[in-house]
Amino acid sequence: MQRIKAVVIKVAEWWDKIRAWLTGGDKLVSETSRIPLQGYEHDVLYLQEQLGHAPDFAAREFRLGVNGSRVAALYLRSLADEKSIANSIIMPLSSIAALVDIATRNTSVDAVRNLLSSASVADLSDLGVAMERILLGETVLLAEGLKVALVVGTRASIGRTTSTPEIETTVFGPKVAFVESLETNLALIRQQVPAPTLRIETFDLGRRNPRRVMMFYLTDLATRETVAELRQKIKDIDVGSLLETEYLHTLIGKSPWSPFPQAIHTERPDRVSGNLLEGRIALLLDGSPEAMILPTGFSDLFQSPGDYYEHHLVTTLMRALRMVAFLLSTTLPAFYVAITTFNYEVLPTDLLFAVASARAGIPFPPVIETVLMLVLVDILQEGALRIPAKIGQTVGVVGGFVLGQAVILARLVSPLLVIVVSVSVISSFATPDYRVVGLARLLRYTLLAAAGALSGIGIAAVWVGVVIHMASLEILGEPYLRPLAPLRLSSLSDFVFRKPYRSADPRQAKRLREES
């Protein structure tokens, strides 16, 4: 009997896929999943299968009386309030179960509805709608002998347990960020992506200190090969403990010695939902307030969640400025050393005299002068991050101003170098991903050493090596320099220039339809 039920469910699933393919596959879930109720056991099993046996899915079964009709309360623990379920559903139905005629099992919908103490009760006869209501945090009641299901409003309020983004701040858009609770983070993603195709797989990693990891993806958008490869990489992890998502970043990455970020780290649920709807995979670690998104490319590091809340022309300008700022933060000090050490002749005469007068009396060569200034600024920056937040800003401003004035008055560095270093350091913070700041530091010192030894040839050689290295990287089968290498014209609509939503690619258009 169980095999026959399983075959019926599989046939229904294949029929849904065939109908979605014939209609173009771009309709909403509510328009392609209309399946009538077919019986208590079938309906419970169907909803459980459609939700992919999610770890937060609960099917609480009880009886109306000692030998009465079976009743199942179906809900998601991450979105529903279990206290409300116990008080408004379980207790009322259990306390007066003796009043129900269990001999005939002739339980009516009105009788069950009248027993519930919730103010929000509705009936439905569509499994597709029932699945949508479960994904919204409500509880679906299925009972033997009833031809319809009951939906009870039990959605939990999780807004008070979250915080605002501290790193990825935006002017527009949601003001909510992940926290250390995995269940709360799961609920935030559920609220952003209430889709039945969302799959959640759990892994317990760490021999000495096991921690739970959740993998999120959409079955109709993420490729099976990418999901399978990442799943296998996670299963192959064998460590004593896993304390932060950066551990996953290192263990999953194909090139652990590469300084380039090989995943997107974000504290914003809206950024996770947007990437899921683009076919990517998200990882959440219990105890970490960050999500990790795979696969990623180098251009993704310059995209901010706020880009999709502003006009596309403004977004295009800001993305171009971020890339220019990255080049300034890495190359400007090296360019200063190359010009002042080897290539004075490229400067206009007036500027040449200004640079020479500014450097008059400086006891150090340009490369040593620049290294000392950069090290001093980096130490000041690290110190400002470690001290308490209330005095960190004061120490940063006072320390930078006092030290800057002191080194200039002492003729240890030139005023022009102070400007160069300030622009370089400030430009490194223009990128939305904070991990790019560390990358900019490494490239800055590498380019500085090359410029001090080989002038402009050294700078060009380092950048050629960097581009070759990035071109050799692959993240879960995706080239790191996509969509430029290899060139994908269809993906350029969301690279630097972002097209209007009406002319966006089909995947983005589908995302907009689902969000509306």
Residue type for position 81:
D
pLDDT at position 31 is 39
Tokens 């990489």 correspond to what residue?
233
Q: Which of the pair, 310 or 3, is modelled with greater confidence?
A: 310
For 23-161, strand residue ranges (E) read 57-63, 70-76, 121-124, 139-143, 149-152
Average pLDDT on 384-392 reads 71
pLDDT at position 30 is 38
What is the distance between the terminal CA atoms of the chain, rounded to a whole angstrom? Answer: 42
94-98, 117-121, 394-398, range with greatest mean pLDDT: 117-121
Average pLDDT on 394-419 reads 77
pLDDT at position 13 is 61
Rounded Cα distance between 262 and 234, Å, is 15
pLDDT at position 106 is 54
pLDDT digits (tens, 9 = 90+) for 125-139: 888 888 888 988 899
pLDDT digits (tens, 9 = 90+) for 339-365: 988 887 788 888 888 888 878 888 888
Question: Which region, left, alpha or beta, applies to residue 287 given φ > 0 means left and ψ of -120 to 50 means alpha?
Answer: left
Rounded Cα distance between 181 and 461, Å, is 47
Residue type for position 490:
S
Rounded Cα distance between 138 and 230, Å, is 32
Q: Which of the pair, 201 or 39, is modelled with greater confidence?
A: 201
Residue type for position 288:
S
Check whether the bond before 269 is cis (ω within 30° of 0).
no
Rg (CA), the chain: 29
Is a pLDDT exceeding 60 seen at residue 115?
yes
Is a pLDDT exceeding 80 seen at residue 74?
yes
Tokens read off for 178? 């992940």
Angle at 55 between CA 288 and CA 230, to 5 degrees: 65
pLDDT digits (tens, 9 = 90+) for 188-241: 999 899 888 999 999 988 887 888 999 999 998 999 999 999 999 999 888 888
Q: Residues near 9 by Cβ (< 8 Å), separated by ≥ 6?
A: 42, 45, 46, 49
pLDDT digits (tens, 9 = 90+) for 504-515: 444 443 443 344
pLDDT at position 336 is 92
Tokens 């409500």 correspond to what residue?
138
pLDDT band at 516 (very low <50, low <70, confident <90, very high): very low
Rounded Cα distance between 417 and 419, Å, is 5
Rounded Cα distance between 76 and 99, Å, is 30
Average pLDDT on 72-79 reads 90
Average pLDDT on 489-508 reads 62
pLDDT digits (tens, 9 = 90+) for 4-27: 555 545 655 665 555 544 444 433
Tokens 């932060």 correspond to what residue?
244
Q: Residues near 423 by Cβ (< 8 Å), separated by ≥ 6?
A: 328, 332
In the chain, domain spans: 29-152, 161-296, 325-479
* 244: nearest Cα among 202, 283, 281, 277: 283
pLDDT at position 41 is 86
The overall average pLDDT reported for the chain is 81
Average pLDDT on 83-101 reads 72
- State whether residue 188 is helix, strand or coil: helix
